[in-house]
């Protein structure tokens, strides 16, 4: 595993030097990926944080936004307690740099807190001021990963629909699969045209993961027109995850050779390869502009 990791690190470092600009010389934008699920408790927060850490190990510059309106979780897993959040940036009290938490591997965490619901009521000039504050982050980040709350509230839906890419997480349990289908159906109803990446978490083995993913894919292709669902990968059910959560440590760092960490590394390397194949990153400003306009419709 380690030589594979070293190779990837070297590759991504090399590619990054070329990647500040695309081939036509245009500025590169941050790729925004929202992680969502129908059912709660399927592993979104653990997945988002650990995927971010793996991407950072591969040389990517990663931002994570904790957009869970309920109990924010990323900070709990990291054992940190943010004093300020997006609310203080939106109302002009703080700069974005003042609220960012430095995580392991150089990742940066933006606590959403009450700022998430605040986005619904932004006036034009407040939005402009907020977007301006995001400009510096754009230059410093390759990915923004967004951890959402459970369910399909208007807020979760807006944070999801505005993304460059969506990762839907489910476990192989029928209730979780049904709720994942419900979420994908809602995205489809709202005319989301991007790729939806499916991750099966807590699979007993890869076969169980594949069976569950294929079940969902078959139903989606039968009933939802123009829905691009890609089976992205599987994370195995692994005791290392709850054990690390209890220690308030990301499992990738607490147990880097665990089965769950293995799954995360292989998805992160898949993402790194795709980043340079496609150019679908629209950036932070575009993302938050879309969210605010979705709230107003």
Comparing CA positions, the residue from 40, 47, 44, 43 lying closest to residue 175 is 40
State the minimum distance, in angstroms, from the CB of residue 88 to ligand ATP. Answer: 23
Round to whole Å and give the CA distance between 125 and 136: 19
45 binding Mg ion? (CB under 5 A)? yes
DSSP symbol at 91: T
Q: Which stretch binds ligand ATP (CB under 6 A): 21-29, 44-52, 211-219, 224-232?
A: 44-52
Residue 188: name its binding partner from ligand ATP, Mg ion, none (Cβ under 5 to 8 Å by kind). Answer: none
The answer to whether 119 and 291 have CB atoms below 8 angstroms apart is: yes
Round to whole Å and give the CA distance between 266 and 5: 10
State the minimum distance, in angstroms, from the CB of residue 208 to ligand ATP. Answer: 12
Judged by beta carbon, residue 138 or residue 179, the one nearer ligand ATP is: 179
The answer to whether 234 and 214 have CB atoms below 8 angstroms apart is: no
46 binding ligand ATP? (CB under 6 A)? yes
Distance, C-alpha 153 to centroid of its chain? 17
Site residues (CB under 6 A) for ligand ATP, limited to 89-148: none
Q: Which stretch binds Mg ion (CB under 5 A): 67-75, 112-120, 137-145, 264-272?
A: 67-75
- Chain position carrying tokens 């995850």: 241
171 binding Mg ion? (CB under 5 A)? no
Distance, C-alpha 259 to centroid of its chain? 21
State the minimum distance, in angstroms, from the CB of residue 273 to ligand ATP. Answer: 23
202 binding ligand ATP? (CB under 6 A)? yes
Angle subtended at Cα 125 by Cα 292 and Cα 115, rounded to the nearest 5 degrees: 50
Residues near Mg ion (CB under 5 A) are: 44-45, 73
Q: Which spans of this chain sit near ligand ATP (rule: CB under 6 A)?
A: 37, 40-46, 68, 73, 149-150, 201-202, 235, 237-238, 241-242, 245, 260
């Amino acid at each position: 595993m380690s030589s594979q990791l070293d190779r990837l690190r070297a590759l991504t470092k090399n590619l990054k030097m070329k990647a500040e600009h695309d081939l036509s010389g245009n500025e590169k934008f941050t790729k925004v990926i929202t992680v969502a699920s129908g059912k709660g408790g399927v592993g979104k927060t653990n997945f988002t944080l650990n995927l971010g850490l793996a991407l950072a190990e591969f040389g990517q510059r990663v931002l994570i936004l904790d957009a869970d309106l309920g109990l924010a979780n990323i900070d709990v897993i990291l054992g940190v307690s943010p004093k300020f959040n997006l609310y203080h940036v939106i109302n002009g009290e703080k700069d974005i740099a003042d609220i960012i938490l430095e995580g392991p591997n150089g990742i940066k965490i933006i606590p959403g807190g009450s700022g998430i619901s605040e986005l619904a009521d932004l006036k034009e000039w407040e939005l402009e001021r907020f977007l301006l504050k995001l400009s510096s982050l754009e230059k410093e980040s390759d990915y923004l990963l967004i951890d959402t709350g459970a369910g399909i509230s208007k807020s979760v839906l807006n944070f999801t629909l505005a993304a460059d890419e969506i990762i839907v997480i489910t476990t192989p349990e029928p209730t979780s699969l049904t709720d994942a289908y419900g979420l994908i159906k809602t995205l489809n109803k709202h005319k989301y045209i991007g790729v939806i990446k499916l991750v099966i978490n807590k699979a007993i083995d890869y076969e169980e993961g594949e069976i569950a993913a294929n079940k969902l894919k078959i139903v989606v292709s039968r009933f939802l027109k123009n829905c691009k669902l890609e089976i992205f990968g599987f994370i195995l059910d692994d005791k290392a995850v709850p054990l690390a959560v209890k220690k308030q440590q990301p499992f990738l760092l607490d147990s880097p050779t665990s089965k769950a960490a293995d799954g995360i590394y292989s998805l992160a390397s898949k993402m790194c390869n795709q980043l340079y194949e496609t150019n679908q990153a629209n950036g932070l400003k575009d993302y938050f502009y879309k969210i605010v306009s979705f709230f107003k419709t």
